[in-house]
Amino acid sequence: MERRTFLNRIGSILAVLGIAEAEWLSLGNRYYQALAQPSPRKLALLIGINQYPQIPVLSGCLTDVDLQRELLIHRFGFQGSDILTLTEEQASREFIEAAFLDHLGKQAKPDDVVVFHFSGYGSRVKLETSSDTMQNALVPVNVGKYAQNGKIVNYILEETLLLLLRSLPTDRVTAVLDTSYYAPSTVLGLKIRALQESVAKLAAEELDFLKQLKTQKLSSTPIVLAATSEPNQPAREGLFSGFNAGLFTYALTQYLWEFTPATKIQVALSYMENSLYKLGSKQQPGLLSSQKNPDITSLVPDNIIGAEGVVSAIEEDGKTVYLRLAGLPPQVLLHYGVNSRFTLATTEQLILRSRTGLTAKAQISKIEGANPLQVGQLVQEAVRVLPRNINLTIALDTRLERIERVDATSAFAGFSHVSTVIAGEKPADYIFAKLQEIPSRYGLFSLGGELIPNTTGEVGEAVKSTVQRLAPKLSTLFAAKLWRLTENQGSSRLPLKATLEIISGISPRVVMQRETIRTVKSETSIKKSLSTPHSLLPTAIVPIGSRMQYRVENQSDRSVYLILLGLNNNHTGVAFYSWETPQEPNTADTKPLLKQVVIAPGETLTLPQTNSASEWLISGPACFCEQQLIFSTAPFSETLAALSTVKYSTAEQQPIGSLLNPLDVAQALLQDLHNASALKAEMNSTAADSHILDVNNWASLSFSFQVV
């Protein structure tokens, strides 16, 4: 929205906030004609601030606003004219509160849908009326000023915002806050959206406004989604392929693009936390609400079937289109290759020709008889092309001395599958840095600044020596990166359901469930599957000593093959081994054999099979486990061959055990999925340097749980 238009639209309300000026224009009756539109309407106010004066700038807040706006228009049927965006210098405290009252408060009616979004800094401030209590606050662009009696901050209290949301006359209100309030003294890795807490005074106008709000009737019960669920957790923003974005906003919008919103918000939070963990952050999204297990009633998509993107523009020839691919999993987007294919609801297929960030250029594969393309058409993944020359990227912390960076670059260059960048300049998978408490030691960290266990060098050890000892760990991390690239729960056309269960008592207890829903199912059956019980915790909790199993249902008309690979938080690989009983069990040197795990059409299989000889028992210590169940319509021949090359002792023949050659197994897995694709001959020129994966022939479901 243009600044002049914005100033005109909120002019009539500015006096309420104490900033009346003679030159402000009256809105007139024209603006309020919108109120005559029939309910329910869909209104949104989206706020993003990157450029704060005299404060380190943020990088992803404007992208957050764009991601939300596109999602609301193309996935949830909002009209562009009903979405008001305030960015950069427009997003002052006065303008934000005035826009809320004018755009949302004056227009919203019962049953209307309202969305509020804020991306920017948060902080904590101490009020004069309660000197012992720190309160959470959003930081607008006009942060504050110094007066004779000290610093006055122009913050918007979280309490003020919650009261504003509750004052709306509709219960269908959703707010998204991609910010946090606690700023650690030192930050390693991804940028944090929090300022150090302040002991300054709050602007008198804000306190007066809060007092006025407390006298109003509050009828709404909004759903408020927060980037973090714990007070000391930081909200981070990441550097992706050609753009920056808030990790929470990206994970949330990607989930809502690709999936139909689940019945319970906790299910959505589970998916988002899983996604954030893969992006290197342990932040846990939360719900600021007094409701228990609230339904997602405020956001219902126009089309129950999800999408990976949307047609955003069409060239004059009508054959070339631009796509926005905000529905692809973030870890997949960076390596999404040329010649990947998408389908439209009208069955036309688009071939990807180039991509920059979230925007891709594509062409219709067959022109004859094709329906005219239209902006706003949803596109769904059909074929994923992944280049074979993918690397593990290590960012070198900028606090390393120049000679340390030179030595690290040289040492990492000794690994064929590893490349280095300077932290903050390009996307990366991990960070190489000094330990803050012992600067003479180096280590490997997640992008969220978490030290990866068993990656630290000795005190005073040379950079090259530390890097060289990382060799096994780097192979495991690279392998995990490769199998994460197969995740496609949203786009797979193989109808499958997998449930993680704790075996206890008469019936197993469900921990978490994953299901491919973009298959040939009726709308009724999709809604029914989404209403089944799921884990109601953002993180699935599994006690040490639990007996576990996966229950896998093959709902397709074809047999499917299954591989399980995983990574524990000490970054060691695990795999599921389907051991075959040797023909001559009394022979001492009989080599244990592995067999394919195959599930017949319509069959349900428990993994491992329920018997004492092959039970899966969760042992200590406490850890975070991430596991990938990968299915194919063709046998995992090369993967099994790679698993079989290692010599396993009889003691190691557990159903889920250590993965001793993770990189070989991950590369073989991609080749097996490539071999299962029926399009190899048709895309022969692509096949030489890429893996081609067809959504009709593979599915990959991700599970994460906390062992305590």
The pLDDT assigned to 535 comes to: 40
125, 194 contact by CB (below 8 A): no
What percentage of the chain exceeds 90 in pLDDT?
56
CA distance 633 to 331: 24
31/266: higher pLDDT = 266
Helix (H, G, I), strand (E, B) or coil at 124: strand
Q: In this structure, what DSSP letter does residue 365 have?
A: S
User: Quick count: other Cβ atoms within 10 Å of Cβ 18?
Assistant: 12
Instruction: Assess whether pLDDT exceeds 50 at residue 594.
Output: yes
Cα distances (Å, whole numbers) of residue 376 to 70, 73, 163:
10, 9, 35
> pLDDT-derived band of residue 12, with 50, 70 and 90 as boundaries?
very low
> Torsion-angle region of residue 490: left (phi > 0), alpha (psi -120 to 50) or beta?
alpha
Interatomic CA distance for residues 98 and 109, integer angstroms? 18
Q: Name the band, by pLDDT with cuts 50, 70 and 90, for residue 321.
A: very high
pTM of the model: 0.90
- pLDDT, residue 16, reads 39
What Å distances lie between residue 660 and 266, 280, 671, CA to CA? 35, 24, 19
Distance between CA 612 and CA 616 in Å, rounded? 9
**Contact at 8 Å (CB) between 458 and 441?**
yes
Distance of CA 58 to the CA centre of its chain: 19
- Are 218 and 40 spatial neighbours (Cβ–Cβ below 8 Å)? no
Q: In DSSP terms, which residues pair with 355 in a beta bridge?
A: 360
Contact indicator for 315, 323 with CB cutoff of 8 Å: no
Residue 528: the pLDDT is 54
Residue 20 has a pLDDT of 35
Rounded Cα distance between 429 and 280, Å, is 8
Reported confidence tier of residue 702, pLDDT bands at 50, 70, 90: very high
CATH 3.40.50 fits domain 392-476: yes
Supply 274's token pair: 């899983």
Give the other-Cβ count within 10 Å of 570's Cβ.
Answer: 13
Q: What is the pLDDT of residue 186?
A: 81
Give me the pLDDT at residue 126, please.
81
Give pLDDT tens digits for 89-115. 999 999 999 999 999 999 999 989 999
Q: Please determine, for residue 264, whether its predicted confidence score (pLDDT) is greater than 80.
A: no
Neighbouring-strand partners of residue 593? 580
Digit-coded pLDDT (tens) for 485-531:
999 999 999 999 999 999 887 788 898 889 998 875 544 555 555 54
Is 652 strand, coil or helix? helix
Q: What are the beta bridge partners of residue 202?
A: 153
Q: How many CA atoms lie within 13 A of 318 on its CB side?
A: 9
The model's confidence at residue 471, banded by pLDDT at 50, 70 and 90, is very high
Distances (CA, A) of 596 to 508, 644, 657: 26, 12, 17
Same fold, 309-384 and 392-476: no
Dig out the tokens for 641 from the structure.
């061959």
DSSP 200-224: SEEPHHHHHHHHHHTTS------EE
Closest CA to 450 of 57, 248, 184, 252: 184
* Per-residue model confidence as pLDDT tens digits over 48-100: 999 999 899 999 999 999 999 999 999 999 999 999 999 999 999 999 999 99
CB-based burial label for 45 (10 Å; 0-12, 13-18, 19+)? buried
Strands (E) in 471-603, as ranges, are 496-502, 509-515, 540-542, 547-554, 560-568, 573-576, 579-580, 593-594, 597-599
In this structure, CATH architecture of domain 3-245: 3-Layer(aba) Sandwich (3.40)
Q: Residue 130: beta bridge partners?
A: 127
Position with higher pLDDT, 686 vs 434: 434
Q: Is the pLDDT of residue 1 over 50?
A: no
Do 97 and 208 touch, CB atoms closer than 8 A?
no
The CA distance from 323 to 320, in Å, is 10
CATH class of 309-384: mainly beta
Which phi and psi angles does 84 have, rounded to 5°?
-100, 125
Q: How far is CA 523 from the centre of its chain?
A: 26
- Of 218, 212, 286, nearest in space to 252 by CA: 286
Instruction: Compute the average pLDDT of residues 433-450.
Output: 90
pLDDT value, residue 14? 42
Q: Please tell me which of 462-476, 514-528, 565-579 the model is most confident about, judged by mean pLDDT.
A: 462-476
Can you name the residues that pair with 201 across neighbouring β-strands? 152
Of 314, 333, 305, the C-alpha closest to 373 is: 314
The answer to whether the beta carbons of residues 544 and 618 sit under 8 Å apart is: yes
Give the pair of three-digit tokens for residue 586.
């009394």
Give the per-residue SS3 of 289-350. CCCCCCECCCCCCCCCCCCCEEEEEECCCCCEEEEECCCCCHHHHCCCCCCCEEEECCCCEE
3-state secondary structure of 518: coil
Report the chain's mean pLDDT, rounded to a whole number. Answer: 84
Total residue length of the chain: 708
Please state the domain extents for the chain. Answer: 3-245, 309-384, 392-476, 486-707
